[in-house]
Amino acid sequence: MEERGKPYRRSTSGRKWRKVRALVGMPEGFRFYGRWHTGHPLATRSGATLKDTTVRAGQTSERAALIHQHSDLERQQEVASGLDGLVRAARSKARQKPAGADLLCDA
């Protein structure tokens, strides 16, 4: 990328980011790397693996992807609900099978 015929410099990225951010209507406080902090958690919530999010973000290591992973209260509630469902299903299944002591009493 060149700016006015000159090679791209890191110092120009802030100015370019502000222009693009304003052009697409993003809030002023939205940081360039905020897309990773938003995208990674949303991708994993949709079922993507860590490797999937690493590739989608164009990152070179899973460690970099982990830096951008976050878990909010809503996600923790979803996980707790999922675990609750698994425990309830296991308990229901266990009640349907006679235990060893029940088999002895019936004999």
- For residues 77 and 103, membership in a common domain is answered with yes
Q: What is the pLDDT of residues 2-13, one digit of tens each?
A: 556 665 565 667
Query: Which position has the higher pLDDT, 15 or 49?
Result: 49
Q: What is the DSSP string of 26-48?
A: --TT--TTHHHHHHHHHHHHTT-
- Residue 54 backbone zone (phi > 0: left; psi -120 to 50: alpha; other: beta): alpha
Q: Are residues 65 and 82 in the same domain?
A: no
The contacts of residue 56 (CB under 8 Å, 6+ apart) are: 39, 43, 48
pLDDT, tens digit, 9 for 90 and up, residues 32-82: 677 777 788 888 888 888 888 888 888 888 888 888 888 888 888 988 999
Amino acid at 25: G
How many domains does the structure of the chain reveal? 3
Four-CA torsion 28, 30, 31, 34, nearest 10 degrees: -170
Task: Provide the residue range defining the domain that includes 49.
Answer: 33-70
pTM of structure:
0.47
